[in-house]
Structure 1
Amino acid sequence: MADVTRRLLLGTAGVVALGALAYGGGRVACRFVPRNHPDFFSLLDIAPDDAAGRAIGRAALAAPGLPSDLASLERALTARPLIREALATDCPTTRRTLVQDQCALDFAAGRTVVVEGWVLSETEASLCAGRSLATQVA
C-alpha cells in the first residue's frame, strides 16, 4: 500500500476547501436572487391529472356548495390560511404538505363535499375541480 504523502494530503484538503468555498458562495449569492412565487395554478399540480382525477373534478363542479369557475375557486382556496402559506413557498414538498394539512383541517371542521359517494375535503374537491377546468381551457 502506498503511503499518504504530505503533498497528497494538502492537495485533497485544498480541493475540499475550494469545493466548500464554491458551494457556500453559491448559497450566499442565491439569497439575493428574487424568487418566483407560485400562483394558484401551481397548486393544481397537486391534484391528480388522470382519468379518475378529471372525473372527480367534473363531479365536484356539479356538486352544490363549490364554486364553478377558476376565479371563484381561486378566491375560495386562497381564503384558507395553509393554502396562502403554500402559495408563498417555493418548495414543492412543503407546498404538498401544507395542502394535505389544509385538507385535514377541512375534515376536522366538517368542510366536506360528497362527490359520487366519496367524502372529500372542500380543498381537495376544489383542486380537482380547478384541474378539470384548467385542462378544459388549455
Structure 2
Amino acid sequence: MPSLTGCDPFDRDPPPPDPLAPMVDEAFALAAAYQDAATTHPVLAGRLTPITEAHAAHAAELARVTEVALPSTTPTTSTAADSDTTLTALRERERAAGESAVQACLAAPAERAALLASIAAARASHLEALQ
C-alpha cells in the first residue's frame, strides 16, 4: 500500500507576510533611537520622550493589526556625541519613516488607511518638534 505522507487535504501554503510587517520593525527601531538619544543627551529628553512614546505606541498598534510580534530585543542605535548631530540624524530617520508611512497609506486597504494616515501625520509633526 503506498504511503500518503504529506497528503493532508487541509495542508495549505502559509499566508504571505503582511505588507505592513516591516513598519512594525521601523516604528520599534525609531522608538529605540529616540530613547537612546534621550538617554545619551538628557537635555533633549523633554523633546524626545513624547516622540519615543508615540513610536512605541505605533509599533504596538501595527503589531496588533498585522499580527506580527514586536521584536524581543531593542535594536542597537548609534547616537552622536553632540546633540545637534543627534537631532540631524533623527530628522533624517523621521523624514524617511514619514515617506514610508505615506507610501504604505496610499497602498493600504481602506480599513488600514486611517491608522497609517495617523502615523504619517505624527511623523510629520515629529519633524517639526525636532527643528
TM-score by length of 1: 0.32
Structure ranking higher in strand proportion: 1
Structure label with greater radius of gyration: 1
Greater relative CO (CA pairs within 8 A, separation 6+): 1
